[in-house]
Amino acid sequence: MKKIVAIAVLTLLAAPALAQEEKFKLKDGPGKTTVEENCGACHSLEYIEMNSPFLDRAKWDATIKKMVNLLGAPIQEKDQPAILDYLVKNYGG
């Protein structure tokens, strides 16, 4: 019973901190929605910003191809150019 009370108290204490956590938002621009829908379906969009210092156009392209061909991301071929252009313009390249 003491464990349950302790867990409940800790949960209540942590709730305000969690409520204040802001959701990561991508930069505005053409292709943003396509990136959110496709990339965000499998992983946090924060990965885009975290990897951006290391990726130019060729590496973003390779990353998209890896996600689709090796990891099975369900990104339609028609959406890939818009995703690539958005990533290069807003996050490197």
Which H or E run includes 37?
helix 32-39
In-domain check, residue 59: yes
Higher pLDDT, 11 or 72: 72
Residue range of the domain that includes 87 = 23-91
Q: CATH number of the domain that 76 lies in?
A: 1.10.760.10
The answer to whether residues 78 and 37 touch, using CB atoms and an 8 Å cutoff, is: no
Q: What is the pLDDT of residue 3?
A: 58
In-domain check, residue 3: no
Mean pLDDT for 50-57 is 94
Question: Could you identify the residue written with the tokens 């990891």?
Answer: 71
- In the chain, the number of structural domains is 1
The answer to whether residues 55 and 92 touch, using CB atoms and an 8 Å cutoff, is: yes
Enter the pTM of the model.
Answer: 0.75
In-domain check, residue 30: yes
In-domain check, residue 9: no
Mean pLDDT for 11-39 is 77
